[in-house]
Amino acid sequence: MYRRRLVHAADKPLGDCFRTLRAVTPWYRERWPWLLILGPAAVLVAGAITTWIAFASADGLVAEDYYKQGLGINRLLAREDTGRRLGVSADLEIEQGAVTVKMAGAAPEALFVHLAHATRAGHDVRLRLTPLADGRYAAELPPMPAGRWRAVIEDPRGTWRIVKEAR
């Protein structure tokens, strides 16, 4: 049977046989296998980059003692309520190299200001502000990166606190 096919193919003119044949190229020279391989290869590269980022950077937003902090949140909220009830308010100004606070409703002997960076706990700063002659409180400020800051203003005794956003 195989020989008959050869015979029949030989009966056809040579030009017809070559019209139906095309040059066979290896698979790696074709476009479609590479397009099919490109998707999984991109996923592998993205997964490797994500894994590297996860291990190279620390989780600054996760506290080690989150359970204790969760239990103590009511005390912090009570201190904020105490500040509101006493009529204590503050205007916070962060300038290059200095932080100043103008108080209303209270005049403690000093103030503590905790500046917490929104995403990087390593940049957090706790300052002790001393009173100036005009009723404001001030302290020198180390160089800080730009971004959103959460400022917590407290009295030295820890009876009240004020939370502000700073940029």
Best CA proximity match to 84, nearest among 137, 159, 135: 159
Under DSSP, the state recorded for 49 is H
Identify the pLDDT of residue 3: 46
User: What does pTM read for this prediction?
Assistant: 0.59
At 21, the pLDDT band (50, 70, 90 cuts) reads low
Identify the pLDDT of residue 11: 54
Q: Is 148 left (phi over 0), alpha (psi -120 to 50) or beta?
A: beta
Across the range 32-36, mean pLDDT stands at: 94
Identify the pLDDT of residue 1: 46
Range of lowest pLDDT (2-6, 60-64, 89-93): 2-6
Residue 48 has pLDDT above 90, yes or no: yes
The CATH homologous superfamily to which domain 66-166 belongs is Immunoglobulins (2.60.40.10)
Q: Higher confidence at residue 38 or residue 147?
A: 38
Q: How far apart are CA 116 and CA 165, in angstroms?
A: 10
Across the range 136-164, mean pLDDT stands at: 88
Q: Residue ranges of the domains in the chain?
A: 2-56, 66-166
